Amino acid sequence: METPAHADSPTPAQQALDALTVNAEDQAALETLAHSDVLVPVPDDALDGEGADATTVALPVLEQPGGDAVVPVFTTEGEMTDLLPFVSRYRLIPLGALAAQWPDENLSLAIDGSSSHALTLTSQGVRTLLAR
């Protein structure tokens, strides 16, 4: 029987997500999250040279029912495997750095999308809450 990805000891990012489910305005939790590294999935069909530049990241975009576009990121490999078992590669990126370069288009960010502490932010929320 598998246990939830953070049943034993949640990462600081997961603790921050848990705090934000209780209080979305928790500045300490937002600060912790902004300074946490997240796993950004790299599709297996991406070219090996693609995204090799450390200053750019190819964002994986999933289309939600209703047409909303969302970029999934994860706090642990376990969280990523739960939602995207077919993805075997990822890049580890500070969430605040990712948010600081977030595109202007209407693109949401989903952190640990399949977990009990999942957080989804609009593109404006990403830039205003996480860009540090």
Spatial separation of the C-alpha atoms in residues 108 and 71, rounded to whole Å: 6
As for how many domains the chain has, the answer is 1
Q: What is the CATH number of the domain that holds 40?
A: 3.40.1350
**3, part of any domain:** no
85 lies in a domain?
yes
Task: Give the pair of three-digit tokens for residue 60.
Answer: 């994986």
The pLDDT value given to residue 26: 93
Q: pLDDT of 37-71, one tens digit each?
A: 999 998 766 655 544 555 567 888 888 788 789 99
Per the domain annotation, does 4 fall within a domain?
A: no
pTM of the model: 0.83
- CA-to-CA distance for 111 and 71, rounded, in angstroms? 9
**Measured between alpha carbons, how far is residue 57 from residues 46, 72, 85, 90 in Å?**
12, 13, 21, 11
- Domain hosting 28: range is 12-47+59-130
Residue 74 lies in a domain: yes
